[in-house]
Amino acid sequence: MAPCGVAAFLCTVIVASAQSFDTLLRNDECEDDCALSALQIKTSQGGQEQSWEESVLGAWAQEPGCQGVLKGQCGVGAVVVEVQPETGIVSRTLYTAGAGGGPAPFDEHKMTSIFPVASNTKIFTSILLMALADHGKVSMNETVGDFVGQECGDLPVAVANITLLQLSSHTSGLPAQPTNRHMEDCKKDPVNCNPFTKYTVQDLCQTLREVKLGPKGHYLYSNLAFGMLGYFMELRMGVPYEKLTQTWVLQPLGMNSARITMNESQWEELAPQGKDASGEGRWRRQPYGILQGNGAFLVSVPDMGRLVEAMIKAERGQETPLAASLRQTLQPMAWSGFCACNACEEEELLNLSIPTAERGVVAMGWESSSSGLRRGWHKAGDIAGYSSWMAFNAALGRGAFGVDTCGGCGAQLGSLRGSAVQRMVQLLADGPPKKVSPLPQVAKPELAALVGEVQACPAAPGKLQSTSLAGLSLTLRDGKLLASTTSFTGEESDVVTATPFSSAEADGLQAFSGVVLELSGPVGTIHGGPREHGPLAEVSQWRTIHFLAEPSAPNKRGAAVLHVAGADVFFVDDVSQCP
């Protein structure tokens, strides 16, 4: 074991509590089993000012949906990653908090616990696919028929011709789930339920023969597709998916905690049990079948920070393991729906060919995320007992990952907002609001063109917006552009200055211009009415409005798109013109 040397890398562990937090340093050159050295310990005496990040963790702990029976029984762990653009120096800061301000169920000093990262596994599968393609082991144009055509016999031509590229970008037309998952074990043992247990190649062949495809080339989120990808790589290389991913992806990135297979004692020692809304324990302890590539891995929070760091460096063109393969997973492929708390698996939000009320861009497993006027990326992961989110913005050099053991508390049925931890991580990835310098000599006619009132487009039939804002008003006074908002419950915000920006850079599909606001918003979800379940925790954050100049925009000024929690929310003059 290499000794811990000079701490050129900063790793801080903070317990988001009113009583205390610990600050520790470690050297990134240390091997994983080198313990964190407590070089400095600080104690907060209640009155000490919190950092903005601590306030976000504290806000999560106050979310009404994360209290009740969950208070003191579950918690959240998160890592914030910052990469300095000039020096490449990296800091990773670890945070943990308990629901309702209770104790967090984590090792607060080492954060060695591992968690089901669920659909974040899809990112590992995408990187594995690109790494194998880069080494000539597979071709992105190979098809489903090339891998299982002989085993499955006569498959529908449209299914047999699905390519690996389509599988990896959610554009294959395959549905979210197989038609024949094994749900019988979940009825017998809901605590340890895994519907992918015992799933065999014969089961896969049956699904592929009877599945109804959506339109190829359009976004349709698919657990089935990514499960197949992992299995196909296993077939090609003759190595189990877990070992293959560890060798080609996880170990090169230093993510040595990641595993799928564990014995009973490892489950008890390494993986804190998740809870559902009733406080019942939840675990996906039953082993996976062949579709592991869609969500089987368990990983520590610090190791997920290593992935975020590598993605930021790769997109910035900085040196990092697997840089070329990581960059290729970020190729924009199609418009997508906003995916949060499994909403992406509901088909009425999908099959998109143009931007809709809440939209983004899909790459290879990644979904677009916006911070300021810069395009970033995120990935969600939800299973019973746990909710997680990973997001980063390479232009800002910042990203974050977080997971709860509270079953996605703070999520609201029928909402696209996502769980409280998902909202929290997006805020941590965006970073604290900063002073924004306006563009010099912005012409008054240009500002005047932005003046007016717009309303939020509906997200989808029966769905709520992920943002609480229903209306947006922009006025011009003494040469300054001012903005105010109205919520769906009729609450009006204070008037704030809107700082105009423009950008000639394309995000892969279009260029934009817009304004930046500094507002505040809740970490958790909007409930049935204002303050219905107690005070919602709010933190200061950026809200960015892009005015899109494109022929397909639904009004003459172009749609105003509010970026919040990674989503693009369309505002228009006339809601009847919404896409």
Least confident of 33-37, 241-245, 537-541: 33-37
Least confident of 46-60, 390-404, 499-513: 499-513
pLDDT at position 452 is 80
Q: Could you tell me which of 543, 542, 548 has the C-alpha nearest to residue 509? A: 548
pLDDT at position 491 is 74
pLDDT at position 98 is 92
- Check pLDDT > 50 for residue 236: yes
- Check pLDDT > 80 for residue 105: no
Q: What angle do CA 233, 239, 245 make, to 5 degrees?
A: 65
Give the model's confidence band at 496: pLDDT under 50 very low, under 70 low, under 90 confident, else very high.
confident
- Check pLDDT > 60 for residue 149: yes
DSSP output for 237-248? HTS-HHHHHIII
Q: Say which DSSP state 457 is in.
A: P
Least confident of 143-147, 356-360, 546-550: 546-550
pLDDT at position 243 is 98
- Check pLDDT > 50 for residue 543: yes
Tokens of 306: 């290593």
Tokens of 230: 């992992």
- Check pLDDT > 60 for residue 307: yes
- Check pLDDT > 60 for residue 200: yes
Least confident of 181-185, 334-338, 508-512, 515-519: 508-512
Q: What proportion of the chain, given as a percentage, has pLDDT over 70? A: 66
pLDDT at position 2 is 30
Distance CA(293)–CA(244), nearest Å, equals 11
- Check pLDDT > 50 for residue 5: no
State which of 87-91, 216-220, 303-307 shows the largest mean pLDDT.
303-307
DSSP output for 19-88? S-----B--TTS-TTSPPB--------SSSPPPHHHHHHHHHHH-GGGSGGGTTT-EEEEEEEEE-TTT-
pTM: 0.82
- Check pLDDT > 50 for residue 253: yes
Give the model's confidence band at 193: pLDDT under 50 very low, under 70 low, under 90 confident, else very high.
confident
pLDDT at position 155 is 96
CB 390 within 8 A of CB 377: no
Residues 6+ apart with CB under 8 A from 62: 100, 101, 523, 535, 537
State which of 107-121, 308-322, 409-423, 557-571 shows the largest mean pLDDT.
308-322
Phi-psi region of 550 (alpha: psi -120 to 50; beta: other; left: phi over 0): beta
Top pLDDT among 211 and 111 is at: 211
Distance CA(69)–CA(533), nearest Å, equals 14
Give the model's confidence band at 430: pLDDT under 50 very low, under 70 low, under 90 confident, else very high.
confident
CB 436 within 8 A of CB 386: no
pLDDT at position 541 is 66
Other CB atoms within 10 A of residue 328 CB: 20
Query: Tell me: the pLDDT tens digits for 45-77?
Result: 344 578 889 989 988 998 888 888 888 889 999
CB 466 within 8 A of CB 358: yes
Distance CA(240)–CA(322), nearest Å, equals 21
Q: Could you tell me which of 294, 267, 285, 293 has the C-alpha nearest to residue 197? A: 285
Distance CA(511)–CA(553), nearest Å, equals 13
State which of 38-52, 69-83, 118-132, 443-457 shows the largest mean pLDDT.
118-132
The pLDDT mean for the chain works out to 76
Give the model's confidence band at 41: pLDDT under 50 very low, under 70 low, under 90 confident, else very high.
very low
Q: What proportion of the chain, given as a percentage, has pLDDT over 90? A: 39
- Check pLDDT > 50 for residue 512: no
- Check pLDDT > 60 for residue 191: yes
